[in-house]
A and B are shown apart, each in its own frame.
Chain A
Amino acid sequence: MRLLPTLLFTLATPAFAATPDEVTQHYADLALAGYQDSLTTAQTLQQAVAALIATPSDAALQTARDAWKAARVPYQQTEAFRFGNPIVDDWEGRVNSWPLDEGLIDYISADYGNEENALATLNIIATPTFTLSGTQIDASTITPDLISGTLHEADGIEANVASGYHAIEFLLWGQDLNGTNPGAGNRPFTDFATGDACTNGNCDRRAAYLQSATDLLVADLAEMVDNWDADGPARTAVTADPQAGVLAMLTGMGSLSYGELAGERIKLGLMLNDPEEEHDCFSDNTHNSHFYDGVGIRNVYLGTYTRTDGSTLAGPALADLVAAADPAVDAQLKAELEASVAALRAVKDAGDAGRTFDTLIAPGNAEGETLIMAAVNALVTQTASIDRAVTALGLSKVDFEGSDSLDSPEAVFQ
């Protein structure tokens, strides 16, 4: 009888004992690969946008839309790197800000507005000069600098999203005017046509905006690749102090799981029955974005990533550290991560079959509510075990949040 616990413990010990140093190095490798893939898929989008502008057609618009959706697959998986890494979190607003008052950028239907944001219906594409906080702005030429330096978060209002995936998404799809009924935005390719073929006016400025916003996205992603490359500051931040790096990993997993994904992006939309509250609201690609967020959270824990070329990364994992500290917590968290990915896959499958997120949150859609709440509950459940992993590894979020009131946590990795 006395042998049994010892035997169980031996069996539960991972095949190789990873060190925090190795785990954080591999984590930085995962981040680098994820941002590299985000960059290359954004470059494909950039070319597709250029082709659309050069020769507008239904086919060219479709190619650009497909490229945008493909670019979201690796990017959403990197969202698990956001919280916990200030270099990523401070930068993220440039590339994935949401929700946005899209009326800042282009024409929208008349019944839309935001009472807190005076610029919510400015329509830059139709407005070459305007006044911002008392200053006259010359927007006669739309450039990446104008977007990032002047327009983005104009007036200090976060809903003034001028750059990033969702601004590009709006320009490729237009407003989704179908409410909670099926159907995405339906912008015609002629919105980018020249001369008399131009619909909705200012097609040259719309094209310039789309190209500038896409160029800016590529530049921003290139910057993040550099941050995770050899000696990049994001890599250094997690590897120089592996213990802080491990905490950053768990913080990224927990904050994305609970407050951001389960709460802000999924449950709130359901509770408001508001299709404007879905993450990819123009393209109706939300089911994919949420799914790949969930996969990204699991990636960080398991130390794995499947690249866009199909190759896979695997190496020393956070799971190995947790398993060594508390096998029960590791087993439970692994099972819960699988469960959340499965629940998010069910939402993705529904979306792929035409029951997109905006239709699932329609008032009275009981099946939609069940699907969505299963995903929310799975994400909330796994957050409790991410907390348990933090505890099992003896880490403290307090120090991490910058409070200098407490002593450093005791080192546990020896």
Chain B
Amino acid sequence: MHHTARILIAAAAMAIATNARADTAAVVQDHIRPGFSAFAEAATTLAAIDSCDLETLRPAFNAAYDAWMQVAHLNLGPTEDNGRGLAILFWPDPKGSGWKAQRALLDGPAPSPEQMAQQSVAARGLPALERLLYPTEALLTDRCPLIHATADDLAATATTLSSAWGPFGDLMLTAGQPDNSRFLKPEEATQTLFTQLATGLEMLADRRIGRPLGTFEKPRPDLAEARASARSLRNITLSLAALKVLALTLNPDSPKTQAAFDQALSLPEAIDPDTDRLTDPQVWLKWEILQQAVRSTRDTAIAELGPALGVELGFNSQDGD
């Protein structure tokens, strides 16, 4: 009985594997699922810390943020559903909605998990934790209960998200099968991943780099992501490296794309990670060169991978303003 069941499971797994295009299957199995699983693990580790000592919490917070950067560009399916991606990393927050909502929470009793899950996404996730773990103003209230509530909520979201990539990953792996109404052809799943690659690079250049870059006359270091935890440049590098993994998993034989990524990835080490230094014209120029390198990587990846994969760019969630 057990033996038969195992054979059936193996057969089903093989059927799934052979029906998906190799590029799609590799990304789902080697990049997406392990990435979301590792993030869930890191978030759970952070939530398990009993202490409220900032020095104890910060390494686990940074490990969770690092883990999110491996998958933050995969903004589709379960990540979009229920706004999970936004609940993990709502950024930018131009109106400071997150801190406003958190101050209200700090004034009341610690929110229950249900209450935390109902909060505005601006009051949840990694930026919310960053504001509590790297405070820029003295607080009269004890922030410990909110730290734990926010970390627990993040872990719960991360765990649900990782689980949801099981069935959605199966949809990608069975693209084109008769009962699959989401991906009608195998190449539709591939197109979706190709689009995530291009969008991820665009978002990296326009937002993570572009916002603090501002203009030569008016750099805006204050608009950088994760500035309080001094992660701004680290996030850019991690995001770029993760996008390289996506590109080369999607199409391993992409020498031009690989060279473009390597060129871009060689730049951050010469940049001072202190975003305040952006007001120095020399530093500003280095950031701008990095932005150009990311944009050029996007163009190269689209030109090389599109024809190789036989797919065009699809619409993406960043279209529009």
> A396 and B312: CB pair below 8 A?
yes
Query: Are B315's CB and A258's CB within 8 A?
Result: yes
Q: Which residues of A have CB within 8 Å of B303?
A: 398, 403, 405-406
Set of chain A residues within 8 Å of B299, measured between Cβ atoms: 403, 405
Say whether A391 faces chain B, with CB atoms less than 8 Å apart.
yes
- Asked if B315 and A255 sit within 8 Å, CB to CB, the answer is yes
- Is A354 engaged at the interface, CB distance under 8 Å to the other chain? no
Answer whether A267 and B320 are a contact pair too, CB < 8 Å, given A116-B223, A391-B312, A398-B302: no
Stretch at the interface among A137-145, A271-279, A307-315, A340-348: A271-279
Binds A, one of B4-12, B40-48, B94-102, B143-151: B94-102
- List residues of A (112-130) whose CB comes within 8 Å of B's CBs: 113-117
Given contacts A255-B320, A267-B83, A271-B87, contact A386 B312 (CB under 8 A): no
Chain A, residues 250-276, CB within 8 Å of chain B (1/0): the string is: 000011111111011001101111101
Chain A residues, Cβ within 8 Å of B317: 258-259, 263
The answer, yes or no, to whether A159 is at the interface (CB within 8 Å) is: yes
Query: B279 interface residue, CB < 8 Å from A?
Result: no
Task: Identify the stretch in B57-65, B116-124, B233-241, B269-277 within 8 Å (CB) of chain A at 4 or more residues.
Answer: B116-124
Pick from B306, B307, B317 the residue with the most CB of A within 10 Å: B317
Encode B149-188 as 1/0 by CB contact (under 8 A) with A. Answer: 0000000000000000000000000000000001010001
The verdict on B267 contacting chain A, using a C-beta distance below 8 Å, is no
Determine if A271 and B315 form an interchain contact, defined as CB atoms under 8 angstroms apart. no
Other-chain contact of A272, B80, B121, B220, B307 (Cβ < 8 Å): B121
Indicate if the CB atoms of B302 and A264 lie closer than 8 Å.
Answer: no
CA distance A388 to B315 in the complex (A): 11
Expressed in whole angstroms, the Cα–Cα distance for A256 and B317 within the complex equals 10
Q: 0/1 per residue, B284-321, Cβ < 8 Å to A?
A: 00000000000000011011001100001111111111
Range of interface residues on A (Cβ < 8 Å): 35 or more
> CB distance B120 to A272 under 8 Å?
yes
Q: In the docked arrangement, what's the CA distance between A363 and B120, Å?
A: 8
User: Is A276 within 8 A of B95, CB to CB?
Assistant: yes
A274-B120, A363-B120, A387-B315 known; A156-B218 Cβ under 8 A:
yes
Q: Least Cβ distance of B80 to chain A in Å?
A: 8
Task: Indicate the size class of the contact surface on chain B.
Answer: 35 or more
Quick check: A268 and B320 within 8 Å, CB to CB? Answer: no
Closest to B100 in A: A111
**A390 contacts partner chain B, Cβ-Cβ < 8 Å:** yes
Contact A116 B122 (CB under 8 A): no
- Asked if A387 meets B191 with Cβ closer than 8 Å, knowing A254-B319, A256-B320, A264-B321, the reply is yes
B222 CB within 8 Å of chain A: yes
- Interface positions, chain A 297-340, Cβ under 8 Å from B, are none
Report chain B residues within 8 Å CB of A406: 302-303, 306-307
Residue A195 interfacial (CB < 8 Å): no
Report B153 CB to chain A, min CB distance, Å.
Answer: 14
Once the chains are docked, how many angstroms separate the CA of A396 from the CA of B191?
12
The answer to whether A387 and B314 have CB atoms under 8 Å apart is: yes
Task: Collect the chain B residues with CB atoms within 8 Å of residue A156's CB.
Answer: 214-215, 218
A410 close to chain B: CB less than 8 A: no
Q: How far is the CA of A270 from the CA of B118 in the complex (A)?
A: 11
Report if A271-B86 is in contact (Cβ < 8 Å); known contacts: A116-B222, A403-B302.
yes
**Nearest chain B CB to A157 CB, angstrom units:** 9
**Cβ contacts under 8 Å, A115 to chain B:** 94-96
B118, B302, B303, B312 pick with most chain A CB within 10 angstroms: B312
CA distance A412 to B320 in the complex (A): 28
B319 pairs with A259, CB closer than 8 A: yes
**Do B302 and A260 touch (CB < 8 A)?**
no
Question: Which residues of chain B have C-beta atoms less than 8 A from A383's C-beta?
Answer: 315
Contact A259 B94 (CB under 8 A): no
Tell me the residues in window 238-274 of chain B with beta carbons closer than 8 Å to chain A beta carbons: none
In the complex, what residues of A have CB within 8 A of residue B191's CB? 387, 391
Q: Which residues in B have their C-beta under 8 angstroms from that of A196?
A: none
The answer to the question of A173 belonging to the interface, with a C-beta cut-off of 8 Å to chain B, is no
Check B313 against A397 for contact (C-beta < 8 Å).
yes
CA A386 to CA B120, docked complex, whole Å: 31
Q: Mark A193-224, 1 if CB is under 8 A from B, else 0.
A: 00000000000000000000000000000000
Assess whether B302 is in contact with A386, with CB atoms less than 8 Å apart. Answer: no
- CB-based contact A259/B320 at 8 Å: yes
Closest to B303 in A: A405
Q: Which of B120, B300, B306 is A398 in contact with, Cβ under 8 Å?
A: B306
Nearest Cβ distance between residue B54 and chain A, in whole angstroms? 23
Check A83 for interface membership: any CB of B closer than 8 A.
yes
Cα–Cα, bound, A305→B117 (Å):
43
Q: In the complex, which residues of chain B have a beta carbon less than 8 angstroms from the beta carbon of A255?
A: 315, 319-320
The residue in chain A whose Cβ has the minimal distance to the Cβ of B98 is: A272
B74 → chain A closest CB, angstroms? 16
Complex Cα distance A264/B316, Å? 12
B71 CB, nearest partner CB in chain A, Å? 19
**Which residues in A have their C-beta under 8 angstroms from that of B215?**
156
State in angstroms the CA–CA spacing of A257 and B314 once bound together.
Answer: 13
Q: Which of A363, A395, A403 has the most CB of B within 10 A?
A: A403
- Output the nearest chain B residue to A82 by Cβ-Cβ distance: B320
Partner of A364, one of B118, B222, B314, B318: B118
Most buried by B among A115, A395, A396: A115
Q: Are B120 and A258 in contact (CB under 8 A)?
A: no
Q: Which residues of A contact B319 (CB under 8 A)?
A: 83, 254-255, 258-260
Q: Is the CB of A405 within 8 A of B315?
A: no
Q: What's the minimum C-beta distance from B320 to chain A, rounded to whole angstroms? A: 3
Measured in the bound complex, the distance between the Cα atoms of B223 and A260 in whole Å is 22
Binding site for A on B (CB under 8 A): 80, 83, 86-87, 90, 94-97, 118-122, 182, 184, 188, 191, 214-215, 218, 220, 222-223, 299-300, 302-303, 306-307, 312-321
Q: 15 A-B contacts, Cβ less than 8 Å apart? A: A113-B96, A263-B317, A267-B83, A363-B118, A380-B80, A384-B188, A387-B191, A396-B313, A397-B312, A398-B303, A403-B302, A403-B303, A405-B302, A405-B303, A406-B302
Residues of A at the B interface (CB closer than 8 Å) are 83, 113-117, 156, 159, 254-261, 263-264, 267-268, 270-274, 276, 363-364, 380, 383-384, 386-388, 390-391, 395-398, 401, 403, 405-406
Q: Which 5 A-B pairs have the closest CB atoms?
A: A260-B320, A405-B303, A259-B319, A259-B320, A255-B319
6 additional A-B pairs beyond A270-B83, A364-B118, beta carbons within 8 Å, are A115-B95, A259-B317, A260-B319, A271-B83, A380-B80, A391-B312
